[in-house]
Amino acid sequence: MREVAVIGVGMNKWGELWEKSHRTIWTEAALKAIDEAKVDRVDAMVVGCMSGGLFVGQEHLGALLAEQLGMGPIPGTRVESACASGGLAFRQAYLAVASGMHDIVLATGVEKMTDVDGGAATFALSTAADQEYEGFHGVTFPGLYAMMARVHMQRYGTTREQLAQVAVKNHAHGSLNPNAQFPMKVTAQQVMSSAMVADPMRLLDCSPVTDGAAAAVLVPLEWARKRSSGPFIRVAASAHATDTIALHDREDMAFLGSTAKAAEQAYKQAHIGPSDLSFCEAHDCFTISEVMVIEALGIAERGQGGKLTASGYTALDGKIPVNPSGGLKSKGHPVGATGVAQVFEVVEQLRGACGARQVKNARWALTQNMGGTGASTVIHLFERV
C-alpha cells in the first residue's frame, strides 16, 4: 500500500441554500478542492450521499456529478452508509490511491435536505434505522438517540446539564467558524429549555437539517513531496466497522461498538493511542452521541463522557479538543457531506489555518463519522509530516 496525502480541500458556508441546486453546491466544493490542490485532472471521483432519492428525487450521482467537473469520462462512484456516507467516500478514495489503482482521486460528500418539509426529512433520515422493525413503529432518529441517552443517564448518572454542555461547547467553537450554519453561542439553560423533540432530546440537543458539500483531493504522499516542500497531511489510518442496524439488537445500547472497533484498528495502524491525539472531529449528531463517541474512542472512560465534557477537557483550550469546527451541532449536518467536512477541518487545523479556532501545536487528528445509531463507523487518522 502507498502512503496517501490530502493536498486540497474545499467547502462553503452551509445552511438552507434554497437558491442553489444539489449539483451546484457539490461542484462549488469540488472545484475549491481541485483548485487548492493545483491539479489539472482527477483520475476518479467518489461521492458520499445518503439519499439523493428521498431528498431531491435524484439517484445516479456518480455519473451526474462526474460530468459537472468537465474532466471527461472519469469513473464516478456514489457510496452510501447513511450519515457515514462522506467518511466512507473518503475511505474509498484513500483505498484507490493507496492500492495504486489511481493517482489523483477526489473524495466528496453532498446532501441537499431543505427542499423537502420537516416530516419528509425526518422520514428520509429514519431510513438509516431498521425500516421494518424500528421505522415501522414511528420512531425517529432523535427518538433512537433519546433512548440511548436514557440508558446512559440511568446507568452512569449522566446528567441533563452534562449533555447540554456538549451543545454549549460546540456552538462556542462554531461561532469561530465562518462556514458554520448556526454560529451562535448557546447557554446550557437555552439548551435545557428548548422545545422537546423526543424526551429527553430537545431541539438544541439535535444537529440541524442542512444543505452542503465538502471535497478533498488525495494523492500518493511521494507524489506530493515531489511537487512541494510541505508540510504534508498524511492519512495515517483508515478503519471501518459495523454493528447491528437495530438499536434493540445491540448487546449494550449505551455503547458504540462499531466506533470502538474502528478506533482500535485505526490506532493500531498508526501506532498511536487516544492520548496522542491533538484533537478530533467527532460525529455529534446529538449531544448524547458525542458523549458516547468519546467513550468509544478511549478519550473518556466508559460512562464518564458527560462528566469529562463538563470539565472542559474537550473544549478548544482543553487537553483534547473535540469538534473545534463546531461539529454537526453548530456547523450543520448535510448527512452525506459531514464525513468529508470533518477531513476539511482536520486538514485546515493541521495546516494551522484556522484562525481564532486554531488548535495549538496540532500534529495528530482523528475523524469519526457514524451512520444510524452507530451501525456504521468510519475513522481516519491524520498526521502533519
Instruction: Give the binding site for other proteins (CB under 8 A).
Output: 118-120, 122-123, 126, 131-140, 142-144, 146-148, 150-151, 154, 195-201, 246-249, 253
**What is the closest distance, in whole angstroms, from the C-beta atom of residue 139 to other proteins in the complex?**
5
Cβ distance to other proteins smaller for residue 147 or 292: 147
Cβ distance to other proteins smaller for residue 46 or 147: 147
Catalytic residue (one of 49, 83, 285, 354) = 83
**What is the closest distance, in whole angstroms, from the C-beta atom of residue 197 to other proteins in the complex?**
5
CB atoms within 10 A of CB 58: 15
Q: Look up 280 and say whether it is catalytic.
A: no
Structural contact between residues 187 and 193, judged by C-beta atoms closer than 8 angstroms: no
Longest CA span, the chain: 57
**What is the closest distance, in whole angstroms, from the C-beta atom of residue 140 to other proteins in the complex?**
6
Cβ distance to other proteins smaller for residue 70 or 138: 138
Tell me how far apart the alpha carbons of residues 358 and 276 are, in angstroms, rounded to a whole number. Answer: 18
Cβ distance to other proteins smaller for residue 86 or 142: 142
**Strands, E, within the chain: which ranges?**
4-11, 44-48, 76-79, 105-112, 196-198, 201-202, 211-220, 233-242, 279-281, 364-371, 376-384
Helix (H, G, I), strand (E, B) or coil at 204: helix
Catalytic residue (one of 171, 240, 283, 333) = 333
Q: Look up 173 and say whether it is catalytic.
A: no
To which residue does cell 473544549 refer? 315
CA 353 to chain centre: 19
68, containing H or E segment: helix 61-68
Cβ distance to other proteins smaller for residue 243 or 348: 243
Helix (H, G, I), strand (E, B) or coil at 22: helix
**What is the closest distance, in whole angstroms, from the C-beta atom of residue 267 to other proteins in the complex?**
26
Tell me how far apart the alpha carbons of residues 1 and 20 are, in angstroms, rounded to a whole number. Answer: 39
Tell me how far apart the alpha carbons of residues 19 and 167 are, in angstroms, rounded to a whole number. Answer: 29
Pairing of strands 364-371, 376-384: antiparallel
Residues involved in catalysis: 83, 333
